[in-house]
Each structure stands twice: as C-alpha cells, then as structure tokens.
Amino acid sequence: LIAIVIIVLIFLSGCAGNKMASWDKVQLASEAEDSEAKTFTTSDSKSNIYIYRERTAGAEITFQVTLDGKSIGYFVPNRYYLLTVEPGKHSIEIITKKNVNFYYNEDDSMVIIDTNPGENYFVNANAWLPMPKTGLLPSIRVKAAQVKNPVGMKKIKKSKLVKNIIS
C-alpha cells in the first residue's frame, strides 16, 4: 500500500511540474484580439482556420501545432489558434513530446483541409488515454479532426486565443 501511495505521489508531482513548464510556453492574445476572433469575421480573399483543444485526458501535456509543416506554437487545453490563410489545401499537425512524465505518446495526428475564400474552418485537437498495451506506462493518443462550424464556434467561445508564432 505504501508503495502505491509513493508511486501516485511521484506521478502527480511529475505531472504538475510538467504542466507548469509547458503552460509557460503558451502566450495568450489580448482580450480584444480574443473578442474579435470570436466574431468569426472573414475576409473575401482569405480563409480562417480555428484550431482548438478541449480539456481532456493528458491535459498536462503540451501539444505543438504546425500549419503546412511550420510550427505555429504550443497548445494546452481550453485554448485556440486562429490562422488566416490563403484558400487551398492546408495541413494541420498536432505533435506531442515522446515519453513525457509517465506517458508515452503513441501517435501524432494530421488533418488536411481544403479551404475556400471567405469561410471559417474548425479543427479539434483531442487527446485520450487508452489502456496501456505494454508495461505500466499509459499512452497518450492525439487526434486532429475537422468539425462542423456550429460545433466549432461553440467550443471557441469557451476557449482563449493563443498568439501565433507565425502570422
């Protein structure tokens, strides 16, 4: 019993330490920028891609987000990115660190969206912890998936805008 308590305490302290370090990498946009993004206004010649992450399993693990192979920054739960892009095909990849604390990342995830001018698109970056396949280490899985606009808009309204590394 004492051994189990010690393992749980080590696990929780490792997760808390990682969360603090990881969340420091994510810089929020101003409240004015967040409010403006939540109007879902588009230009006639560009497309908007909103990428959001809900609070799910593996919340203490930071995701890296890429657009067309270029890093746009890091990602934690209840946050979103707004990317204004040229119309056409774009790849969004969600990447996690391998072997973070007691988790082992089994897969990264990519979604490709073909955008049209003047339209909004929404991508959910989700994580979950399936039962471990081998050993005692839980493994985190990530999934990027395009969602319908009403669902995406509702989720964005509950989240905070993150500053992009690229514009």
Angle (nearest 5°) at CA 99 between 98 and 105: 55
pTM here is 0.77
Query: Strands of 104-107's sheet, edge to edge?
Result: 104-107, 139-147, 120-128, 47-53, 79-85, 160-161
Please report, for residues 30, 38, 128, the alpha-carbon distance to residue 33 in angstroms, rounded to integers and kept in the order given. 5, 9, 30
User: What pLDDT sits at residue 67?
Assistant: 94
User: What pLDDT sits at residue 33?
Assistant: 94
Provide the token pair at 4: 């189990």
Q: Which stretches of the chain score pLDDT less than 70?
A: 1-25, 56-60, 97-107, 128-140, 165-167
**Sign of the C-alpha dihedral computed for residues 18, 124, 163 and 37 taken in this order:** negative
Sequence-distant (≥ 6) Cβ neighbours of residue 162 within 8 angstroms: 26, 27, 28, 29, 73, 75, 79, 80, 81
User: What pLDDT sits at residue 63?
Assistant: 79
Residue whose token pair is 């909004």 = 120
